[in-house]
Amino acid sequence: MKKLLPIVFLLLTSCIAIAEIQPNSFHLAHVLRVIDGDTIVVILQCTTRERVRLIGVDAPETPLRGEPEFFGVEATNFASRRLLNRDVLLQFDGRLRDRFDRLRAYVWMSEPVNFDEQEIRNKMFNAQLLLGGYARVMTVGTASGYVNFFEQFERKARNEGRGLWKQYMRR
* pLDDT at 9 (0 to 100): 47
Query: Rounded to whole angstroms, what are the CA distances from 3 to 6, 9, 101, 152?
Result: 7, 11, 38, 53
- Among 50, 61, 74, 154, the one annotated catalytic: 61
Distance CA 116, CA 82 (A): 21
49 is catalytic: no
pLDDT at 16: 42
**pTM of structure:** 0.85
pLDDT at 21: 73
CATH number of 4-169: 2.40.50.90
**Identity of the amino acid at 3:** K
pLDDT in tens, the chain (171 residues): 444 444 444 444 555 455 567 767 899 999 999 999 999 999 997 679 999 999 999 999 988 788 988 999 999 999 999 999 999 999 998 889 999 999 999 999 999 999 999 999 999 999 999 999 999 999 876 667 899 999 999 999 999 999 999 886 654
Residue boundaries of the structural domains of the chain: 4-169
Q: Where are the beta strands (DSSP E) in the chain?
A: 26-36, 39-44, 48-54, 57-58, 87-91, 103-108, 136-137
Query: Is 61 tagged catalytic?
Result: yes
Q: Single out the catalytic residue among 50, 53, 82, 136.
A: 53
Q: Is 154 a catalytic residue?
A: no
Catalytic entry in 50, 82, 102, 136:
102
Q: Which amino acid is at 77?
A: N
Task: Please answer whether residues 136 and 70 qualify as being in contact, where contact means their C-beta atoms are separated by less than 8 angstroms.
Answer: no
Phi then psi for residue 140, to 5 deg, are -65, 120
Other CB atoms within a 10 A radius of the CB of residue 56 amount to 29
pLDDT the model gives residue 94: 80
Residue 167 CB-density burial (10 A; 0-12 exposed, 13-18 middle, 19+ buried): exposed
